Structure 1
Amino acid sequence: AVLDAVIARNPAKAERAILVLIDGAGEDIETVLNSRRKLPSLAVPAPRLKGRSPAPAVR
């Protein structure tokens, strides 16, 4: 929506779309903080992600 408003050169619509994104991000943050799940620690490096096993070669 933001990109569409920028392309259309409609700053008011772009501003409204950005405010909706910001409000949504705030709600997401509140949801995570209220979930009582343990948050990741920044004191230690993140564990490495497991890569996908390669797909078998098609011959």
Structure 2
Amino acid sequence: MRYIKSQMKQLVKEDVRLQQKLKQLMVEHDLEKSFALKALYHAEVADSGKYMEAYRELDDLK
């Protein structure tokens, strides 16, 4: 599975917890949104993360 920015944006849009984590990453590490999204992907989706299935479902819709 690979990182796709549009899918990650959609996943965050649909989940309040991910929205909060994204904002937290941006503030704590002074990151731009695009970098924070990628960091969130690696923390929460990649390598059997909590949101891997939801991310895969978005991939299957395409």
Greater helix proportion: 2
TM (normalized to structure 1)?
0.31
TM (normalized to structure 2)?
0.30
Decide which structure has the larger Cα Rg and report it. 1
